[in-house]
Amino acid sequence: MIKVVIAEDDFRIAQVQEQFLQKVSDVKLVGKALNAKETMDLLCENEVDLLLLDIYMPDELGTELLPRIRESYPLVDIIMVTAATEKAMLEKAVKYGVFNYLLKPVTMDKFVETIEEFKRKRKLLGSNGEVDQKMIDQLFGPAKQPVAMQNDLPTGVDGHTLDKVKVVVERLKGVSIDEMSEEMGISRTTARRYLEYLVSVNVCVAKHEYGIVGRPQRKYYFVE
């Protein structure tokens, strides 16, 4: 279970982020802070794995907290969620090793995708065995290489929609055609087309599972 703190001075935005977090499995919100002082207090009082940190807070900039957090809580990972577009802010965040930098307003898809990617890399680092180049590439390379360029995709498969489908598969840790249809608000035919395409390019694998009534259901999972 990943323990998360939201540091955001606008309670409405913090509430939206909390709702987004509820879309992700194995994540627990342990507190919300409205300013820098409350942020440091929560880090002191709780075991925290991930901090969602705003920059423009009323008492102190989030970027000014970074060196203090790194000194006192070196194991806490940080994702900046901010409206700050100044290059200096980004440079400081990168210097102090933030996991990601999200610009407001953040869509639910982008938010969930970022948290899922954090979970994936955290799990990878926690795995046993020696480090090899494949593992390093997975950590430092892009979250997921595109299956194909848009021009290479077959008719009826859109790159943007395909990315959203992959996010749903990862978030639900496997999905049926009906579940994908409901999650995406698309027809079952369209959901099947995208899922079967991912199977055809070896990104997903389809398995037949038996439900309560005994009828097999085709579910799609990312290839391990």
Question: For residue 21, is pLDDT > 70?
Answer: yes
Question: For residue 151, is pLDDT > 80?
Answer: no
Model confidence pLDDT, tens digit, residues 177-194? 999 999 999 999 999 999
The number of angstroms, rounded, from the C-alpha of 23 to the middle of its chain's C-alpha atoms is 10
Min mean pLDDT across 24-38, 86-100, 138-152 is at 138-152
For residue 148, what pLDDT is reported?
Answer: 47
Residue-averaged pLDDT of the chain: 88
Q: Rounded to an integer, what distance in angstroms lies between the CA atom of residue 25 and that of residue 143?
A: 18
Q: What is the CA radius of gyration of the chain?
A: 20
Query: If you average pLDDT over each of 122-126, 145-149, 212-216, which comes out highest?
Result: 122-126
Q: Where are the beta strands (DSSP E) in 67-215?
A: 77-82, 100-103, 175-176, 204-210
Characterize the bridge pairing of strands 50-53 and 216-222. unpaired
Q: What is the mean pLDDT of residues 30-44?
A: 97
**Domains of the chain and CATH, by start:** 2-125 (3.40.50.2300), 144-222 (1.10.10.10)
Residue 153, CB-side half-sphere exposure with 13 Å CA sphere: 18
Min mean pLDDT across 66-80, 130-144, 174-188 is at 130-144
Question: For residue 84, is pLDDT > 70?
Answer: yes
Other Cβ atoms within 10 Å of 138 Cβ, number? 15
